[in-house]
Structure 1
Amino acid sequence: MENVLSDEVSPREAASAVNAWISDTGEGVRLTVTRDGAVVLDRVPLGFSIDGAVLGPGAELVHVSERTVRDRFTLRSGKSAGDHDYEHHESVHTFRAPGGVEWQVILRVGRDGAAIRYALPALDGTTRVTGERTAVTLPAGSRSWVLDYQTWYETPRFGVDTADLASGAYGLPFLTRLDATTHLLITESGIDGRFAGAHVVAGEAEPDGGRTLLVTVADEAVEVARGVVTPWRVFLVGTLADLVSSLFVEELAPAAAPEQADAAWVRPGRAAWSWWSGFYSGAQLAEQRHFVDVAADLGWEHLLIDCGWEETWVPEIVAHASRRGVQVHLWTIWRDLNSPQDLRKLALWRSWGVAGIKVDFMESESKDRYRWYDTILTESARLGLMVNFHGSVIPRGWARTFPQVIGYEAVRGAEYYVFFEDQALTASHNVIQPFTRNIVGAMDATPVAFGAPGRTTSDGHELGLSVAFECGITHFADHVDAYARRPLAARFLAELAPVWDETVLLAGDPDTHAVIGRRAGDRWFVGGIATGDARVIHVRLDRLGVGPDAQVWIVTDAMPATGGTRNGGAAPTGLAETVVTAADAIDVAVARDGGFAAIVAPAGVELFRAAPRRHLPAPTA
């Protein structure tokens, strides 16, 4: 059940460092957020406009109610699959505008941040939300990691000092370092077809060097009815490690429907995908059979067939894949699922044994498009189809509400090597993702593209992406034979766990490197990616709890016999492996724009466990 309530307002847990409150001053309604007693957000203006009438300035406080929200939810995939308990403090502030309109600010405070949303509790009929006053001022001296706004979020991410941040629109999530340890990540949660998505617009520099971000909705006007009229505006605050592990976005999302609460049919894992290495391969049955066979030999769970598949042979490839323990997913375009008649295709595909769909090219944050998402989410849940959205919006908590959603694109990923050979993905762009986009949910960046033309990242960097980036189903970009030709990569990707129990940040900064640890049972998988010169990265292992004499298998860039890491380092010569024992830390040498992948396990635990999937014979007539 969602949001189990207690009339008692319990004190905040000592471990929770975040607090927030709403004040009604002569300047209007304001939000303040603190962490460890220090102000993080100072008197953020709140309010919105309906049909041109501004709600906020001159508001009269009518009533405040408080409650404690406690609940448990289950994630089938993501940074931490399994059951999760949480507790939020909620306060509902009811105001009366000078014209008599009653409106509300609903404030939630959790362990990792605060969130607000707006409501019209006494509205008769409908009205239109035409603007928003929510605005965050970044202090002078802060630094942010951003992307230029695009409704499908595929522009490059980059770091920029507040003093140099250009005026204009930026997409979510928006990350800012406020001081040496405190970070702010702005995003959304709890969206559906009642609303449109939002972004932020940076204004001109303030006199003191700061800059204000105004929350801005994609639609010029959004028709709303009585009740809540916006999604949650989410402010995650804490260290980078706090943000990387946070589930606050999922905590704020609605609970799954009772019939979807279990959803045991959702199967996270790894997928073979032929489109990147062969644009027309989706039309080639023999090639799909080959991808199934290699995927099964690697122990992977899925095959994605992209554009070009034919319904005449899909049941055949599904049957072949099933005998190898592999599930098949089909690509489609959103326009082909945009009417009740079109939606019947989903039931047909499910009848063939198809396990999921990749839906592409939505490219909109409008309310109308979110109503389309509502339909697809509901119908795919009813039919038991997993869903991967491409050309899509960012995650906003659907992993909780609709556990069959196992991925979103909303990132500039490996497909850009195909469409824009002169615009290789930079290592700096990759390093920012675990601290921004991937914090809010599954990210189908289709990693490990060894064969990318013009690639500047090392092989170790590419392999490290398999852990540093998380998606419910990770679709590996390259041809399956490219992995088979690299025995160390093939071995690691065969060992790679299909689902994660826990995610932690072990080292890093959005400007330099990211080392992510993900636990599956008694083993930890570690992915390190770096930008810049070759160097040695120090990784502490104490957060993993693996005890003394832990086994560590590291696959990293093979350095030439001469050159080492001096002067940026000589070009690496492929991959190399090292097996060490460690108690509290490891030092890993990486190439320029390099990286590594590793498995860490307690002493005495079996480190390597991968096995090919069984090959069941075809039924006889």
Structure 2
Amino acid sequence: MNNFKQICFASVFILLCCLSAVAQRKTVSSPDGKITLNIDLSEAIKWSASYQGKEVISPSAISLVVNKEVLGKKPKLLSETKRKIDERINVDVPRKNKVEHNFCNELRLNFKNYAVSFRAYNEGVAYRFETGFKNGIEVNSEELNVNFNKDSQVFFPEEESMISHYERSYVDTALVSLSSSRFCSLPVLVTSAGVRVLITEADLFDYPNMFLSATGGNSLKSKFPPVVLEAEADPGKPDRNERIVKEAGYIAKISGSRTLPWRVFTMTPDDRVLAESDMVFKLSRPVAIDTKWIKPGKVAWDWWNANNIYGVDFAAGINTATYKYYIDFAAKYGLEYIILDEGWSKTTTDLTEPNPDLNLQELINYGKSKGVGVILWMLWKPLDENMDVLLDKFAQWGAKGIKVDFMQRADQYMVNYYERVAKECAKRHLLVDFHGAFKPAGLHRAYPNFMSNEGVKGAENNKWSKLVTPDHNLMLPFIRQVAGPVDYTPGAMNNANKISFREIFDNPMSMGTRCHQFAMYVVYESPLQMLADNPTHYYKEAESAEFISRIPAVWDETKVLDAKVGEYILVARKKASKWYVGAMTDWTARTMTLDCSFLPRGNYRIEIMQDGINAERNGNDYKKMVQKITNGTKLNLKLASGGGWAAIIEKAD
């Protein structure tokens, strides 16, 4: 009898242990069932993710240290809730689609004083912490150790400091080859078990940016800039660079009860899905302003071409006559804006008075008479010190927006600065373009007047380096652009191959062909899209200028038809009744196929810009063609080395 009791007790004990172990494991899957997110709540909160049964992200610990208390250590689950999210979001300034489908399954786990929410989309997974304290708190750190399968590869946007313009090249290497001293900004792209994992963040407000450090193994771990307590001007460039003098022992001071940023992991073996993904937008908070006044468009930009116009009867430079020339050019080609970059103000630190060599009010009025708005460049610090007065003045002058530059930091104060600029500009119906900036992380959904964002090694680097190659250009749609709008500033009219390219600051050129530049206007997403080259060049290349000027800056629908990270991409986008197609390749010449089955039935006229027969020798060479097609047509696209292909499709009469 005693033996029987012992056996029963042991059986019950084993059963309870098994039930307890099961209770510590939670699962949530994507609506299509391909992605499964597993959560273990034993000694710590650990999660892993698999794609079609294959583990892509191995068990990875997460925690949040608040007032020196570790949230996530030996977690005790109080309750959980599950829900299916299936909503259509109307997008005010659509970079990809006029309507986004927010479709996922969510699991929320509630603990004492905090919760963690996990979401599984068909295109990836995300999680975030939520705090529930009564009083304000200090966040000492947030831990993420994300572990991948062995032999994982990474496109690593390495940083030397968290004080940066975040304009990086992507180091394509084995993850395990990176030492623990190396770290990167976001987004970063890892390939694990044959699946692409794009890591970034969303709904970033009142909290620092996340960076990721290598570990010397197959993992990456989080890194954050501390709160800045004291900064001083850098003697080398005191008007625009800072040195951090004193930092706090915590990364943020926040309200005790709030959500933290989403940690976003786009997961797909299909590079087309990666380039189409808009998880950052879907995970960020809804629009916070009136948007009826916002007008996306294209911009004639002065700085890249150094105001180096010619064939005119006045001295080119930062003066009234030169900018009237830009306005006339913009009006001729239907561009909505011009930018007055550095030099329009009396000094870079005094934004209250224009440069005496130009009549700013006359220019703004002249632009208004021609239907062209004026956007003003400025350094972030002078604006920060006198924001209300300056923005009131810009609005009173009749400016349509501002371009804010040289922020370089990514700490909590600077994140709040971005929101403050966007919010205060919205009150005055001013657009915003951020340069010298970290990547987008959700602000563009809450404040759609935040139109575009640098944080990319773009065309301006052609002025002084050989780093912006077609290979580099073919990484951007799959990495940086997944986070949000990208102000690459395309439109170069002097196009060169590897041998011919030269760095010329005042008369720059691009690497790759003219059609490579054409295609950027379809492939790259920026609701404030630049025409970076000299208006004189555009006048001399009127056919090119006319074609570019007809490509929209926002879209109703996007389809990535063919793609491979770093090598090629073929994109079709719809605006109203027309379709626009762009194809780009790296330094490898290739033939691609455009299957027109995405078109509705009917007859269409397609206007094509394709690489000329001599484009590999002279990048300026292109050929224009017009023909009839239907949705049954398949076109062979021949792209030269560093080449491109672009087309406008409309219903035939």
Give the TM interval when normalised to the shorter protein. Answer: 0.7 to 0.9
Structure 1 gaps of 5+ residues are 1-10, 97-101, 206-210, 606-621
**Corresponding residue for residue 371 of structure 2:** 325
Pairing partner for 1:528 from 580, 583, 589: 583
Matched, 1:294 2:329: yes
Could you tell me which amino acid in structure 2 is paired with residue 539 of structure 1? Answer: L
Matched, 1:398 2:443: yes
**Corresponding residue for residue 82 of structure 1:** 98
Shift in CA distance, 166/586, structure 1 to aligned 2, threshold 3 Å: farther
- Any conservation in 1 of the 2:165–2:455 contact (CA below 8 Å)? yes
**Corresponding residue for residue 119 of structure 2:** 108
Matched, 1:337 2:383: yes
Q: Offset at 1:546?
A: 4.2
CA offsets per residue over residues 107-131 of structure 1, 9 Å max, x none? Answer: 233343221111231x343332222
Matched, 1:411 2:422: no
- Any conservation in 1 of the 2:96–2:525 contact (CA below 8 Å)? no
Shift in CA distance, 74/409, structure 1 to aligned 2, threshold 3 Å: same
- Any conservation in 2 of the 1:145–1:510 contact (CA below 8 Å)? no
Matched, 1:190 2:203: yes
- Any conservation in 2 of the 1:283–1:307 contact (CA below 8 Å)? no
Residues 265-276 of structure 1 aligned to structure 2 (within 5 Å): 265-276=293-304
Pairing partner for 2:128 from 96, 117, 127: 117
Could you tell me which amino acid in structure 1 is paired with residue 138 of structure 2? Answer: R
Q: Offset at 1:63?
A: 2.2
Q: Offset at 1:525?
A: 1.4
Q: Offset at 1:52?
A: 4.3
Matched, 1:224 2:254: yes
**Corresponding residue for residue 591 of structure 1:** 640
Aligned pairs, how many? 566
- Any conservation in 1 of the 2:307–2:322 contact (CA below 8 Å)? no
Q: What's the RMSD between the two structures over aligned residues?
A: 2.5
Q: Offset at 1:158?
A: 4.0
Give me the whole-angstrom Cα distance separating, in 2, the residues matched to 1:570 and 1:286. Answer: 37
Shift in CA distance, 84/533, structure 1 to aligned 2, threshold 3 Å: closer
* SS class of match (2:489): coil
Pairing partner for 2:274 from 243, 247, 261: 243
Q: Offset at 1:410?
A: 0.5
Q: Offset at 1:548?
A: 6.4
Could you tell me which amino acid in structure 2 is paired with residue 197 of structure 1? Answer: N
Shift in CA distance, 166/589, structure 1 to aligned 2, threshold 3 Å: farther
Matched, 1:204 2:226: no
CA offsets per residue over residues 149-168 of structure 1, 9 Å max, x none? Answer: 35431121243333544541
CA offsets per residue over residues 300-324 of structure 1, 9 Å max, x none? Answer: 1111111122537222112211222
* SS class of match (2:70): strand
**Corresponding residue for residue 314 of structure 1:** 360
Could you tell me which amino acid in structure 2 is paired with residue 489 of structure 1? Answer: S
Give me the whole-angstrom Cα distance separating, in 2, the residues matched to 1:163 and 1:198. Answer: 21
Residues 61-76 of structure 1 aligned to structure 2 (within 5 Å): 61-69=77-85, 71-76=87-92
Shift in CA distance, 369/187, structure 1 to aligned 2, threshold 3 Å: same
- Any conservation in 1 of the 2:58–2:149 contact (CA below 8 Å)? no
**Corresponding residue for residue 91 of structure 1:** 107
Pairing partner for 2:153 from 143, 164, 167: 143
* SS class of match (2:427): helix
Pairing partner for 1:170 from 184, 194, 219: 184
Give me the whole-angstrom Cα distance separating, in 1, the residues matched to 2:628 and 2:601. Answer: 11
Give me the whole-angstrom Cα distance separating, in 1, the residues matched to 2:88 and 2:591. Answer: 42
* SS class of match (1:465): helix
Give me the whole-angstrom Cα distance separating, in 1, the residues matched to 2:365 and 2:587. Answer: 47
Bigger Rg over Cα? 2
**Corresponding residue for residue 305 of structure 2:** 277
**Corresponding residue for residue 541 of structure 1:** 596
**Corresponding residue for residue 29 of structure 1:** 45
Residues 433-472 of structure 1 aligned to structure 2 (within 5 Å): 433-451=476-494, 453-454=502-503, 455-472=510-527
Q: Offset at 1:396?
A: 0.9
CA offsets per residue over residues 260-312 of structure 1, 9 Å max, x none? Answer: 24x12111111101111116977221111111111111111111111122537
Pairing partner for 1:126 from 104, 116, 136: 136
Give me the whole-angstrom Cα distance separating, in 2, the residues matched to 1:153 and 1:540. Answer: 37
**Corresponding residue for residue 152 of structure 1:** 165
Calculate percent identity across the aligned residue pairs: 24
**Corresponding residue for residue 233 of structure 1:** 263
* SS class of match (2:77): strand
**Corresponding residue for residue 44 of structure 1:** 60
Q: Offset at 1:463?
A: 2.0
Q: Offset at 1:441?
A: 1.0
Give me the whole-angstrom Cα distance separating, in 1, the residues matched to 2:469 and 2:619. Answer: 17
**Corresponding residue for residue 8 of structure 1:** none
**Corresponding residue for residue 208 of structure 1:** none
Give me the whole-angstrom Cα distance separating, in 2, the residues matched to 1:376 and 1:95. Answer: 36
- Any conservation in 1 of the 2:104–2:120 contact (CA below 8 Å)? yes
Give me the whole-angstrom Cα distance separating, in 2, the residues matched to 1:137 and 1:282. Answer: 54
Shift in CA distance, 223/163, structure 1 to aligned 2, threshold 3 Å: same
**Corresponding residue for residue 174 of structure 2:** 161
TM-score normalized with structure 2 length: 0.81
* SS class of match (2:215): strand
Could you tell me which amino acid in structure 2 is paired with residue 132 of structure 1? Answer: E
CA offsets per residue over residues 556-612 of structure 1, 9 Å max, x none? Answer: 22113xxx9xxxx5445522112344434322222211112212335x26xxxxxxx
Pairing partner for 2:406 from 361, 371, 374: 361
Give me the whole-angstrom Cα distance separating, in 2, the residues matched to 1:282 and 1:71. Answer: 51
CA offsets per residue over residues 80-117 of structure 1, 9 Å max, x none? Answer: 35344524433321335xxxxx4321223334322111
Shift in CA distance, 526/451, structure 1 to aligned 2, threshold 3 Å: same
Q: Offset at 1:520?
A: 1.0
CA offsets per residue over residues 147-198 of structure 1, 9 Å max, x none? Answer: 1135431121243333544541112111223355x321111011112x1110
Shift in CA distance, 349/571, structure 1 to aligned 2, threshold 3 Å: closer
- Any conservation in 2 of the 1:78–1:471 contact (CA below 8 Å)? no
Give me the whole-angstrom Cα distance separating, in 2, the residues matched to 1:451 and 1:333. Answer: 30
Structure 2 gaps of 5+ residues are 1-27, 227-248, 309-315, 346-353, 496-501, 504-509
- Any conservation in 2 of the 1:49–1:132 contact (CA below 8 Å)? yes
Shift in CA distance, 537/179, structure 1 to aligned 2, threshold 3 Å: farther
Give me the whole-angstrom Cα distance separating, in 1, the residues matched to 2:329 and 2:622. Answer: 21
Shift in CA distance, 279/494, structure 1 to aligned 2, threshold 3 Å: closer
Pairing partner for 1:373 from 395, 413, 418: 418
Shift in CA distance, 546/489, structure 1 to aligned 2, threshold 3 Å: farther
Pairing partner for 1:576 from 602, 617, 623: 623
* SS class of match (1:77): coil
Q: Offset at 1:72?
A: 4.7
Q: Offset at 1:201?
A: 0.9
TM-score normalized with structure 1 length: 0.85
Could you tell me which amino acid in structure 2 is paired with residue 176 of structure 1? Answer: V
Shift in CA distance, 593/192, structure 1 to aligned 2, threshold 3 Å: same
Could you tell me which amino acid in structure 2 is paired with residue 112 of structure 1? Answer: E
Shift in CA distance, 271/62, structure 1 to aligned 2, threshold 3 Å: same
CA offsets per residue over residues 176-227 of structure 1, 9 Å max, x none? Answer: 23355x321111011112x11101111112xxxxx10112222262223312
Give me the whole-angstrom Cα distance separating, in 2, the residues matched to 1:162 and 1:423. Answer: 26
- Any conservation in 2 of the 1:16–1:110 contact (CA below 8 Å)? no
